[in-house]
Structure 1
Amino acid sequence: MRRRSLLLAVPAGLLTLAGCGDDSSDGGSASASSSPSTSPSPQKSTKIVPGPLPDVTAGKEFGEKPTVAKGPGEPSPELAVKTLIAGTGTAVAKGDFLQANYLGQIWSTAKVFDNSYDRGSPSVFPIGVGQVIPGWDMALVGKKAGSRVELAVPPGLGYGEAGNEKAGIKGTDTLVFVVDVVNSFNGKSSVKGKAVPQEDADLPEVGTNTNGSAPAVKVPKTAAPTGLVSEYVLEGDGDVVKATDSLLVQYKGVLWADGKEFDSSYQRGQLAQFGLGEVVKGWAQGLTGKKVGSRVLIVIPPALGYGDTPPQGTPIKKDSTLVFSVDILAKM
C-alpha cells in the first residue's frame, strides 16, 4: 500500500549523515495508492448520520477480514457511521497514531479497492489531524480499541471530485469502510513487555516503568564497550522487526561519557517514526530482530553512530558512544 508521508520530522539525533530516504512507500503493498492515508480532500460536511450502510455478510468478528454487500440504494450525502462491535479499550484521541485493520470498497459496485487484512498487519497513521481522508478523522476519533466501525464516506469527505484513478475511485463514488480499531499511541505511550533481568554491571541499567514517562538510564563508570550492544529491557510478543521496516517508537538517548541526555521523544511529547534505512547504523542493526512491544537498550560505538562528524548543535562530541532506551510501539 503506497501512502503519503505522515509529515512528522525524524529527530536530527537519529538521522544518517546522508539524510532521510523516501518514506512514501510501504514495501509490502500490492495495492494502488488508495489507503485512507492518501491526500485528503476539502471537507464539505460535518454531520454524521447512522445510515444507510451495507450489511457485513461474512467475517463478522473483530480481526476477521469482512465481506460487505453492495450499498442498498442511494447513499446518504452525509457521513454514515455505525459501531458494529463496541470495544472496551482506550479511546482514540485527536492526534493519536491509530493502529487499525480496514477494508474499503465502492458503494455502488462493492468493488474492494484496498484492505490491510491481506497484508497481514494493521496500518498505523495519525488520526484527527488531516493526515487521512476527512471521513476517517470525523468517524474514528473517540472510538475505543477493540471496536469495529463501519462507515460510508461521501465524495466530499473522501477523495473529492478528482477521485483516485489508480484505485478505480471516481469523483462521485461513496466509499464504504469496515475498520477494526486495534490500538492507538501518543506521546504518553509505553510498551508493556515482560521485564528481562539486567545482570551485566558493565552495561547501562534502564528503568522498567510503563507509565509513559521516560525511563531512567544509569550509565556505569566503566569503559564503554567497543561493539554494538542490543539487549531487551522489556520483551514484547509482537512481530520481529526486519531491516526494511519502518517503526513508531519512544526513545531516550544519553552519552556514555557523562550520562547526560541529548535527545528524547518523551521530552518533546511526540513519538518518532522512521524507516530503519534512515537512521544511524547502530539503530538499524540494534533494532533489527527485536520484537514489537519491547523496550531495548542499545549502546552504539562511534563507528556505528556519528564517529568524528557529530551533528552540529548537539551535545554529541567526536567519537561519542551513545546509549538509547527504545520502546518499539508499532510497525508503520
Structure 2
Amino acid sequence: MRRRSLLIAVPAGLVTLAACGDDGSDTSEAGDSAAPSAPATSAAPPPKIVDGPLPAITAGAEFGQKPTVAKGSGEPSKQLAVKTVVAGGGKAIAENDYVVADYLGQVWSTAKVFGNTYDSRTPQAVQLAQGTVIDGWRYALTGKKTGSRVLFSVPPTWGYGTQGNEQAGIGGEDTLVFLVDVKDTFGARSSAKGTEVAQEDKDLPKVGTNTDGKAPSIEVPRADAPGKLVANYVIEGDGAEVAADDSVLVQYKGVQWGDGKEFDSTYGRGQLTSFSLEQVVKGWSQGLTGKKVGSRVLIVVPPDLGYGDDPPQGSGIGKGATLVFSVDILAKM
C-alpha cells in the first residue's frame, strides 16, 4: 500500500468528488518518505533567518544526488538556520505554492533519519501553506528558486512544538535538519504544458487550450451525452504516467453536460487541489489513470461513474447528470 507522507497534513481533495464510503485510512510508518506534517496549531511568530550553525553534507553534494548529512555539532540555533547549497535558476517559490522536491530529514542531535525520498525516487509535492506543512519549511523555502538545494535546521518552535511527532520518532525538544532539492513549483496560475491534440469529434465537448493560468473554456455540444467514460488528451504532456494508486496535483473545471453550467473549479477558488485517485469517483480514477503528468485531459463522466441519482448536497449537480471536466495534471504526489 502507498504510504502517506508525514510531511504534509492530509490534503483536502475534491470536496464535490470525494468517493462515498471511503474513510481514506492509511498505514503510514516513520522512515518511509516521512516528512513533517503541520501540528494542530501553528501560530508562532516568524523566525529570524540565520546562516548557521548547520551540519556538513558528507556525501552526495550535487543537486539530485542522495545526500548524507553529519550529526549536528554543539547546540543548534534557536532560530531558523538556512543555507542555499546550490542556487537554482528556475521559478521563484511563493508562499502557498506547491513545491515538488526530494528531501532528507533527520534529527540534529542523533542524525537519525526520519524522512528520505531519494531511495524511493518519488519526490514529494508539498504545499507551503500555514497549517499544511511545518512553518520551518514555509520560511526556509519561500523565495528560493527551482533547481536549488537548501539545507536548514528547524527548532521545535517552527517544527512540531513541545509535542514532537511520535510517529516519526521526533521528540518535543528535537531540532530537525532538512536537505531539500527543489525540482518544481506550482501556483494558482499553473497550467498544463505539452503538445496540443486535435479535438475532432463534434459530438464531444471542446476544451480550450490556453496555458496562461486562466480557466479554459468548455463548449458542450447539442448532442446526447455519451453513455461511456471519455478521457481524451487536450494537451499531452511528457511526464510520468499516473498510476491508479497515485495522488495528483491538479487544476480543474467541471460543468454539467445538459446546460454547461459550471459547478466547481480550482480557478475560481484560486487554489490548486490534490487528491488520491483511490478517493474520488470512478470516472476520475479511471479517466486519469495512465495519463501523463503535464497534460490537460477532457473527462466526460456518465452518471454510473459519477453520482447517479445521489449528488452531494449543495454541489449544484443534478440527479443523473453527466459531468464534463477539464483537468490539468500538474504533478504526482
Under a length normalisation based on structure 1, what TM-score does the superposition of the two structures give?
Answer: 0.90
Mapped partners of 1:52, 1:280: distance in 2: 49
What is residue 35 of structure 2 aligned with on the other side? 35
Post-superposition offset of 1:187: 1.9
Mapped partners of 2:18, 2:163: distance in 1: 36
Deviations 1:259-302 (A, max 9, x none): 22222111111222222222221111111111111110111112
Mapped partners of 1:162, 1:309: distance in 2: 42
Post-superposition offset of 1:32: 6.1
- Kindly indicate whether the alpha-carbon contact (under 8 Å) linking 2:32 and 2:116 is maintained by their aligned counterparts in 1: no
- Kindly indicate whether the alpha-carbon contact (under 8 Å) linking 2:38 and 2:131 is maintained by their aligned counterparts in 1: no
Instruction: Return 320-329 or 159-168, whichever deviates more.
Output: 159-168
- Kindly indicate whether the alpha-carbon contact (under 8 Å) linking 1:302 and 1:321 is maintained by their aligned counterparts in 2: yes
Deviations 1:2-50 (A, max 9, x none): 43534536332x233x255326666xx7726951225276637721110
Change (3 A) 1:157 1:220: same
How do 1:251-290 and structure 2 match up within 5 A? 251-290=252-291
How do 1:93-132 and structure 2 match up within 5 A? 93-132=94-133
SS in 1 for 2:136: helix
| Sequence identity percentage | 60
What is residue 151 of structure 2 aligned with on the other side? 150
Mapped partners of 2:23, 2:213: distance in 1: 29
Gaps of 5+ in 1: none
Mapped partners of 1:45, 1:316: distance in 2: 43
What is residue 298 of structure 1 aligned with on the other side? 299
SS in 2 for 1:98: strand
How do 1:1-332 and structure 2 match up within 5 A? 1-3=4-6, 5-6=9-10, 8=12, 10-12=14-16, 14-16=17-19, 18=20, 21-22=23-24, 31=31, 34-39=34-39, 43=44, 46-332=47-333
Mapped partners of 1:222, 1:45: distance in 2: 56
Change (3 A) 1:170 1:308: closer
Deviations 1:90-117 (A, max 9, x none): 2111111222211011223322221111
Deviations 1:66-123 (A, max 9, x none): 1112223332222110001111222111111222211011223322221111222111
Question: Partner letter of residue 15 of structure 2?
Answer: P
Mapped partners of 1:309, 1:105: distance in 2: 47
Mapped partners of 1:264, 1:45: distance in 2: 32
- Kindly indicate whether the alpha-carbon contact (under 8 Å) linking 2:194 and 2:295 is maintained by their aligned counterparts in 1: yes
Mapped partners of 1:128, 1:260: distance in 2: 31
SS in 2 for 1:266: helix
Mapped partners of 2:249, 2:317: distance in 1: 24
Post-superposition offset of 1:322: 1.3
- Kindly indicate whether the alpha-carbon contact (under 8 Å) linking 1:2 and 1:31 is maintained by their aligned counterparts in 2: no
Instruction: Return 63-72 or 159-168, whichever deviates more.
Output: 159-168
Mapped partners of 2:157, 2:292: distance in 1: 40
Aligned residue pair count = 328
Change (3 A) 1:49 1:314: closer
Change (3 A) 1:77 1:204: same
- Kindly indicate whether the alpha-carbon contact (under 8 Å) linking 2:38 and 2:135 is maintained by their aligned counterparts in 1: no
- Kindly indicate whether the alpha-carbon contact (under 8 Å) linking 1:130 and 1:137 is maintained by their aligned counterparts in 2: no
Under a length normalisation based on structure 2, what TM-score does the superposition of the two structures give?
Answer: 0.90
Mapped partners of 1:161, 1:6: distance in 2: 21
Mapped partners of 1:60, 1:23: distance in 2: 37
Mapped partners of 1:289, 1:261: distance in 2: 26
SS in 2 for 1:91: coil
- Kindly indicate whether the alpha-carbon contact (under 8 Å) linking 2:30 and 2:167 is maintained by their aligned counterparts in 1: no
Q: CA RMSD in A?
A: 2.3
SS in 2 for 1:118: coil
Mapped partners of 2:98, 2:332: distance in 1: 11
